[in-house]
């Protein structure tokens, strides 16, 4: 099996290895690949491993040798599945490899909004503690999370893990779910989570955390009208998908003091555009889509991708989409 990895540096910038895939065949790995070079670099290979490089109909029809596309992520919208079905090309993804890491990043952002660790760290290193007249100083108010209300939108594996950690911090947790769970309370690793309508969740929450998929119904779920329902002290966290949020509405709310904070690991267009309205906003914590990226998580991702390919080579259908 000849295997080409097209945009490998996202998952492996050089601190881990491709050994699980190398055990399955000849591997050629590129750190990055321009979309225009996808066909040229994939020609002659039976297997392509991609993260964000697109395999549309135009590309697929020029790749007669291609038998398998392994998406090095959970989402697989970069592949034209209908064309793959027509051409007999198998497609797999890697689901649920980053549940713990994404929950961890969500809580990290929550703590940053509440404790302002980054702000005070920078102040200390700039000498403000050295010149302080008191034994301590506060740049901005710090919020205690105990007894605060967390509302989770989307209670899948990540949302449930976030609920469990929030419960350990002494928070009460509610959630809005897509499908009727058949119960008013869902047990999330020992933490009871009350299911409520979205509007009720928005009105009562001190912190809102998004963990739902991006669909026509959820796109822009955080918008001006949603913000109008919230407490002025509310904080919003998005470690799911950028387009769930109307970023202009959030930026306006932050600048006016209508909400107390916003944190995100994702934005509508990635890499972030220079005119993104969130840039420079007060009480805004942003990370560059790295919730999935701890070393252990990326090692797991590559190992699971290799398991998928090995299954295909042996006639199996592990994590097979097409």
Q: Are 166 and 151 in contact (CB under 8 A)?
A: no
Question: Is 91 within 8 Å of 81 (Cβ atoms)?
Answer: yes
User: Does domain 99-282 match CATH 1.20.1250.20?
Assistant: no
Of 220, 162, 157, 231, the C-alpha closest to 191 is 162
For the chain, domain boundaries: 2-93+295-313, 99-282
Distance CA 21, CA 80 (A): 24
Same topology between domain 2-93+295-313 and domain 99-282 = yes
Three state DSSP letters for 8-57? CCCCCCCCCCCHHHHCCCEEEECCCCCHHHHHHHHCCCCEEEECCCCECH
Is the bond leading into 271 cis (omega within 30 degrees of zero)? yes
The CATH fold of domain 2-93+295-313: Rossmann fold (3.40.50)
pTM: 0.94
Q: Annotated catalytic sites, by residue?
A: 241, 270, 289
**Environment class of 231 (CB within 10 Å of its CB; exposed 0-12, middle 13-18, buried 19+):** middle
| pLDDT tens sequence for the chain (322 residues) | 999 999 999 999 999 999 999 999 999 999 999 999 999 999 999 999 999 999 999 999 999 999 999 999 998 999 999 999 999 999 999 999 999 999 999 999 999 999 999 999 999 999 999 999 999 999 999 999 999 999 999 999 999 999 999 999 999 999 999 888 889 999 999 999 999 999 999 999 999 999 999 999 999 999 999 999 999 999 999 999 999 999 999 999 999 999 999 999 999 999 999 999 999 999 999 999 999 999 999 999 999 999 999 999 999 999 999 9
Rounded to whole angstroms, what are the CA distances from 165 to 103, 115, 215, 237?
Answer: 8, 17, 27, 15
CA gap 152, 196 in Å, rounded: 10
């Amino acid at each position: 099996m000849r295997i080409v990895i097209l945009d490998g540096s996202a998952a492996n910038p050089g601190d881990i290895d491709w050994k699980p895939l190398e055990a399955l065949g000849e591997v050629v790995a590129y750190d990055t690949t321009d979309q225009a070079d996808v066909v040229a670099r994939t020609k002659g290979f039976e297997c392509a491993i991609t993260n964000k490089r697109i395999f549309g109909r135009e590309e697929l029809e020029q790749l007669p040798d291609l038998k398998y596309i392994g998406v090095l992520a959970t989402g697989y919208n970069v592949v034209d599945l209908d064309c793959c079905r027509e051409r007999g090309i198998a497609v797999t993804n890697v689901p649920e490899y980053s549940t713990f890491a994404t929950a961890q990043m969500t809580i990290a952002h929550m703590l940053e909004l509440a404790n302002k660790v980054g702000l005070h760290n920078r102040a200390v290193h700039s000498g403000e503690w050295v010149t302080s007249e008191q034994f301590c100083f506060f740049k901005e108010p710090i919020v205690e999370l105990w007894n605060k209300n967390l509302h989770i939108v989307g209670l899948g594996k990540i949302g449930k893990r976030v609920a469990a950690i929030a419960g350990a911090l002494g928070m009460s947790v509610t959630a809005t779910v897509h499908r009727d769970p058949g119960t008013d309370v869902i047990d999330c690793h020992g933490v009871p989570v009350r299911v409520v309508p979205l509007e009720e969740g928005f009105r009562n929450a001190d912190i809102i955390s998004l963990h739902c998929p991006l669909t026509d119904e959820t796109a822009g779920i955080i918008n001006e009208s949603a913000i109008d329902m919230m407490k002025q002290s509310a904080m919003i966290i998005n470690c799911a998908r950028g387009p769930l949020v109307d970023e202009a509405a959030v930026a306006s709310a932050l600048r006016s003091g209508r909400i107390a904070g916003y944190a995100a690991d994702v934005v509508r267009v990635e890499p972030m555009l220079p005119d993104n309205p969130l840039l420079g906003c007060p009480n805004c914590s942003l990370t560059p889509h790295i919730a999935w990226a701890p070393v252990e998580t990326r090692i797991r991702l590559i190992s699971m991708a290799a398991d998928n390919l090995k299954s295909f080579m042996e006639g199996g259908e592990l994590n097979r989409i097409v």
